[in-house]
Amino acid sequence: PPHYKQCVRSALDARFPGRWMDGGDPIARPLRSPDITPLDFFLWDYVKNFVYSEKIRNIDHLCQRIIAAVASVTHNMLTNTWREFEYRLDICRATNGSHIEVY
């Protein structure tokens, strides 16, 4: 992927030293890491879609959009996502931790 190119990684290291996730993490995580819950997927997708629903003018505008996106997450949205997570935990328990695909 383009974000793995050395020039991109160097630019990110210079701009955000030690504050961005790269493929060289000491803990290798698969694409669908078991450490990542539906809450993580929901929040990332929601914030990303909210933030980029309009053209970003500069870094300050980007920060404002991120803050607005997180502030717009409702209690009901989080409750529904938490229910989905509990459902996945129930499936995990019922299958004794077997690999499952839940969409």
Q: Which pLDDT value is given to residue 31?
A: 56
Q: Which pLDDT value is given to residue 67?
A: 95
Phi, psi of 62 (to 5 degrees): -60, -45
> Is pLDDT above 80 for 101?
no
CA distance 44 to 46: 6
Structure tokens at 15: 């701009």
Q: Which pLDDT value is given to residue 96?
A: 84
pTM, entire model: 0.54
| pLDDT tens by residue, 69-95 | 999 999 999 898 888 888 888 888 888
| pLDDT tens by residue, 14-67 | 887 776 666 665 555 555 555 566 666 788 888 999 999 999 999 999 999 999
Contacts within 8 Å (CB) and 24+ apart, 76-81: 77/42, 77/46, 78/39, 81/38, 81/39, 81/42
Task: Provide the residue ranges of all domains of the chain, joining segments of one domain with +.
Answer: 1-30, 32-103
Q: Which pLDDT value is given to residue 85?
A: 80
Which distant-in-sequence residues (6+ apart) come within 8 Å of 37 by Cβ?
85
